[in-house]
Structure 1
Amino acid sequence: MKITITICTFRRSHIATTLQSLEAMERPADCAVSVVVIDNDDTPSAQDRVANTAAAMRLPVRYLHQPGANISIARNAGLEAATTEWVAFLDDDEVVEPDWLVELVRRQRATGADAVFGPSYARYDDDAPDWIVRGDFHSQVAAPRAGVIETGHTCNALLRWCGTPWQAERFALERGKSGGEDTEFFFRLRQLGAEYAIADTAIVREDVPAARLSVTWLLRRRFRIGQSYSASAESLRQRLGLFGSSAVKAGYCALRAGVALANPERRTFWLMRGTMHSGICAGCLKLPEKALYGVQGG
């Protein structure tokens, strides 16, 4: 089993820490593992940092410079560079647990799934607001809908790649600045026959910067997630149905947020859910998506 781990980076020094965590991890039995880092900055700003880190690693690391400040361009470059049967996805601000890849592979072998998604758990500084820490609003965990895993994320995933019916598929460039390109991508692969599983024990952790410790940032992200989720509706009839149900849910969430006005944790929970459903409505209407990638605090 040959696996290429792809990591897109954009002006983050944390990429060195991410690579070091990969070097320290346990390697799955009977697996050959390599890493490709795709630098999406206009200049090769991460090249020296990646090279210096890789020099102290046994794990093979390849650096690619793919400018454009568009995450889809970088992700597609990673797919183009991958000549292995399997591709793993990781973000440049994450650290993997020692058994991360072992657990992804174990779950894939147990289920036969074409893609396996693990959780990305947030790590907060000591000065983060207590209600944000309790709510754990920044963690990303794939979840089934009505018992079915419809899509996933690229912050922690293992995907069957070479020789598949979807090997020619790529991340949508029009979503490369707004985000949600991974949600739409995995929806599309599922339409081509891909089957998914969740590996709860394949854990990565992500430090949450101060710029993201606000309700504004959380709602902006949830709205975008909603817009991306609307890709699950393929026909006009499905979009109308999804729009109607999401509009009702958004109204209900607004009422619950009003009831919880004095409780910041519960209020934010309901505001986030309502904003996501509002984003679904916007996505069903094909409204423009705001650029989030490549901006400060994005």
Structure 2
Amino acid sequence: MTGAPGLPEPVAEGSPRGFSVIVCVHTEERWQDILDAVASLGAQSLPPLEILLVVDHHPVLLERLEHRFADGPPQVRVMPNAGTRGLSAGRNTGVGAARGEWVAFLDDDAVADPDWLRHLAAGYADPGVLAVGGRTEPRWESGRRPGWFPEEFDWVVGCTYRGHPSGRARVRNVLGGNASFRRSAFGLAGGFALGIGRDGGRQPLGGEETEFCVRLTRVRPDAVLLVDDRAVIHHRVPRARERFAYFRSRTWAEGLSKALVARSVGAGAGLSSERRHTTR
């Protein structure tokens, strides 16, 4: 595992107040999902300052998106991942290019409710808050939850699980597909660590947002990280991920991911929420 990349520029006095929303994309198979995600951002009651589409080492998709958004809307910016292949480097590329005071992340196969950004922004009224996450609901491609699939395991498909804090609550870490940070947080703690999370390989890894949040609160012990379940997005779950074979591979990969996080930040902080969830 390699360390986090260099720091983005700190937020300067007079920086634009608003959200830079980063959507990391990697495959043409999600073309319509990407367009739907961007459309949901364009329909926000609190409009984003900019929408950054970061393409992960896919020249054809990069060219196609550049052509699609060449004539607007003007707040959409398309750029290649400037680092190594993978989600962490893609997010770091977006953070480095972001101009807004706040940086939000939306999965490329999710759509945000119209008030998503407005509810995220409300959390930043307290200057001690450095991160605000939201609630992610599954959109089952088959139209219904599989009867065997327990809600406690909705994290397997990138969604908020039963047992996660509800309402507006303080948390150890926000969940990466529906998350936001003050841009200054990256100036304090660096970027997302490379070697953790999705990297284009076969294993569906994760955990890069957990590692970053733990590292951030070590640098700023007084930092507040919140979840507000009014900030809702809807994450598409394809049929292939409704099957037990994916469930098994994803839970195995999560164990590997937690081991990497624990190696980076220690088992005490890296596994604290998981121990509470398991025992309760």
TM-score normalised according to structure 2 size = 0.73
Shift of 1:99: 0.6
Instruction: State the partner residue of 2:11.
Output: none
Question: 1:179 is aligned with what amino acid?
Answer: G
Matched, 1:34 2:50: yes
Instruction: State the partner residue of 1:179.
Output: 206
Out of 125, 134, 140, the position equivalent to 1:124 is 140
How far apart, in 2, do the equivalents of 1:232 and 1:212 lie? 27
Shift of 1:120: 1.2
Instruction: State the partner residue of 2:160.
Output: 141
Out of 12, 16, 22, the position equivalent to 2:35 is 16
How far apart, in 1, do the equivalents of 2:92 and 2:34 lie? 19
Matches within 5 A, 1:48-67: 48-49=64-65, 51-53=67-69, 55-57=71-73, 60-66=75-81
Q: Is the 8 A contact 1:120 1:206 kept in 2?
A: yes
Matched, 1:25 2:47: no
Structure with bigger gyration radius? 1
Q: Quickly say closer, same or farther: Cα 1:110–1:179, change in 2 above 3 A.
A: same
How far apart, in 1, do the equivalents of 2:90 and 2:128 lie? 28
Question: 1:197 is aligned with what amino acid?
Answer: L
How far apart, in 2, do the equivalents of 1:198 and 1:133 lie? 24
Instruction: State the partner residue of 1:224.
Output: 253
Instruction: State the partner residue of 2:182.
Output: 160
Q: Quickly say closer, same or farther: Cα 1:232–1:119, change in 2 above 3 A.
A: farther
Shift of 1:218: 1.9
Partner SS for 2:106:
strand
Q: Quickly say closer, same or farther: Cα 1:192–1:165, change in 2 above 3 A.
A: farther
Shift of 1:54: 6.6
For residues 28-60 of structure 1, give each alpha carbon's deviation from its aligned partner in whole angstroms, at most 9, with x where no partner exists. 6xxx611111000332414323542573536x0
Q: Which moved more, 1:34-43 or 1:91-100?
A: 34-43
Gaps of 5+ in 2: 1-16, 200-204
TM-score normalised according to structure 1 size = 0.69
Would you say how many aligned residue pairs link Structure 1 and Structure 2?
241
RMSD across aligned positions (CA): 3.5
Shift of 1:2: 2.6
Q: Quickly say closer, same or farther: Cα 1:82–1:56, change in 2 above 3 A.
A: closer
Higher helix share: 1
Q: Quickly say closer, same or farther: Cα 1:139–1:179, change in 2 above 3 A.
A: closer
Shift of 1:207: 1.2
Q: Is the 8 A contact 1:6 1:88 kept in 2?
A: yes
Q: Quickly say closer, same or farther: Cα 1:109–1:132, change in 2 above 3 A.
A: farther
Question: 1:69 is aligned with what amino acid?
Answer: R
Q: Quickly say closer, same or farther: Cα 1:165–1:127, change in 2 above 3 A.
A: closer
Shift of 1:205: 0.3
Matched, 1:192 2:219: yes
Q: Quickly say closer, same or farther: Cα 1:80–1:110, change in 2 above 3 A.
A: closer
Q: Is the 8 A contact 1:165 1:192 kept in 2?
A: no
Q: Is the 8 A contact 1:17 1:95 kept in 2?
A: yes
Q: Quickly say closer, same or farther: Cα 1:100–1:213, change in 2 above 3 A.
A: same
Q: Percent identity?
A: 27
Q: Is the 8 A contact 2:52 2:79 kept in 1?
A: yes
How far apart, in 2, do the equivalents of 1:71 and 1:113 lie? 24
Question: 1:8 is aligned with what amino acid?
Answer: C
Q: Quickly say closer, same or farther: Cα 1:158–1:133, change in 2 above 3 A.
A: same
Q: Is the 8 A contact 2:174 2:227 kept in 1?
A: no
How far apart, in 2, do the equivalents of 1:165 and 1:180 lie? 17
Out of 81, 85, 108, the position equivalent to 1:69 is 85
Q: Which moved more, 1:87-96 or 1:127-136?
A: 127-136
Q: Is the 8 A contact 1:108 1:197 kept in 2?
A: no
Instruction: State the partner residue of 2:123.
Output: 107
Shift of 1:179: 2.5
